[in-house]
Amino acid sequence: MSQYRAKPSDGVAWITGASSGLGYHVAKNLAASGWTVAVTARSEDDLQALADECKSLSGQVIPTPGDVTDQARMSDIAENLVSSHGGIALLILNAGVYLPLRASELKLADFDKTFAVNLNGVTNCLVPCLNHMRDAGRGQIAIVSSVAGFGGLPTSAAYGATKAGLTNMAESLKFDLDLINIHIQVVHPGFIDTPATQSNPFPMPFLMQVEDAASRLVDGLSSSGFEITFPKRFTWGLKLLNLLPYPVYFWITKRATGWGKK
Ligand SMILES: NC(=O)c1ccc[n+]([C@@H]2O[C@H](COP(=O)([O-])OP(=O)(O)OC[C@H]3O[C@@H](n4cnc5c(N)ncnc54)[C@H](OP(=O)(O)O)[C@@H]3O)[C@@H](O)[C@H]2O)c1
């Protein structure tokens, strides 16, 4: 069976984490291609500003504010989109937080928040949408993970664990979803210039502009491939790094991040 690719006439696109950064620009990009895009995040004003900014485009943006950790609210949004807009054709699970952690001052609350938003926030939207897509006999889902999930990086004990988990979740679901005409993809971006990375305490090689990253993500949605990754020179380099024996992996990573001196 060829992979299903969602199109605007099939229903709405729902994207989480659309009040800033990558999600904001992906939503704008989809609206420019004629999609009706439901956008979720906690900052209602920013979602409304996005909807206003997209008014002249061929598609439209519908603010559906909410906290992805609120399971009932995410189910309600999914149900409303199905009943009022003829179904969810495309789901982009993008909301995420990055809280840099140092072993010298670990806080349980930072782990809990990261796991709640990045993991439960994804399943809270994924499950109601998958139930709907299964009934509809088609659907497309992209889960925004990160190269930080490939292997442990400094300050990423919580963030990296969630992203490794999301990649594994997408891989695992693909086996079943391939059988029921649901196209699942995982997104592995490198560094993108967004509010989330502005205070990163280490060098960010191959840093991408957010508009460029958003269009690479949207382009990837039309491919039948499982992985959407950019910029490839960096992300494939990291994949190779993670194949090396641990002593070499840690040696190179410490030098590349400057962590050997801290
Ligand atoms: N920037 C990078 O270098 C990079 C690299 C790889 C992967 N990524 C991933 O790309 C995704 C987008 O990140 P970004 O860089 O664009 O960061 P960002 O600008 O900080 O955007 C994060 C988005 O997630 C939303 N969000 C956070 N907590 C939420 C919650 N509890 N409920 C609902 N929405 C919530 C935020 O909205 P509110 O605060 O309004 O709720 C915001 O819209 C994340 O999954 C991130 O891990 C980013």
- Give the alpha-carbon dihedral of 78, 83, 89, 92, to 10 degrees: -20
User: How much distance in Å is there from the Cα of 211 to the middle of ligand 1?
Assistant: 15
Question: Across residues 134-156, what is the average pLDDT?
Answer: 97
- Res. 1: pLDDT tops 70: no
Shortest-distance atom of ligand 1 to CA 16: 34
Bridge partner list, 184:
141
CA of 141: how far to CAs of 5, 88, 138, 146, in Å? 10, 10, 10, 16
Band of pLDDT at residue 259, cut at 50, 70 and 90: confident
For residue range 76-98, list pLDDT tens digits in order: 999 999 999 989 999 999 999 99
> Which pLDDT tens digit goes with each residue over 158-192?
999 999 999 999 999 999 999 999 999 999 999 99
Please tell me the predicted confidence (pLDDT) of residue 251.
97
Instruction: Give the integer Cα–Cα distance in Å for 223 and 114.
Output: 30
| Confidence check: pLDDT of 7 > 90 | yes
Average pLDDT taken over every residue of the chain: 96
In sequence order, the 6+-apart residues with CB closer than 8 A to the CB of 205 are: 190, 191, 234, 256
Distance from Cα 76 to the centre of ligand 1, integer Å:
21
Percentage of the residues of the chain whose pLDDT score is greater than 70? 99
Alpha carbon nearest to ligand 1 atom 11, residue: 94
Instruction: Give the span between the Cα atoms of 226 and 220, in whole angstroms.
Output: 9
| Domain 8-236 in this protein, CATH class | alpha beta
In the reported structure, the alpha carbon of residue 145 is separated from the centroid of ligand 1 by a whole-number distance in angstroms of 11
| Cα 151 from Cα 148, distance rounded (Å) | 6
pLDDT over 90 (residue 141): yes
Cβ count within 10 A of residue 135: 10
Mean pLDDT across 120-127 = 98
Whole-number Å distance, alpha carbon 247 to ligand 1 midpoint, is 32
Domain-by-domain residue ranges, the chain?
Answer: 8-236
Q: How far, in Å, from the CA of 72 to the mean position of ligand 1? A: 21
Write the residue with the smallest CA distance to atom 8 of ligand 1. 146
> Which residues are catalytically annotated?
159
- pTM flag (> 0.85): yes
**pLDDT (average), residues 114-118:** 98
Ligand 1 pocket at CB < 6 A? 16-23, 41-43, 67-69, 94-98, 117, 121, 144, 146, 189, 191-192, 194-197
- Per-residue pLDDT, averaged over 27-36, amounts to 98
- pLDDT band for 262, please (50, 70, 90 cuts): low
Query: Could you tell which of 91, 194, 211, 230 is best to mutate to test the pocket of ligand 1, judged by most ligand atoms within 8 Å of the CB?
Result: 194
Of 14, 15, 20, which is best to mutate to test ligand 1, by the most ligand atoms within 8 angstroms of its C-beta?
Answer: 20
Q: What is the pLDDT of residues 198-226, one digit of tens each?
A: 878 778 889 999 999 999 999 999 999 99
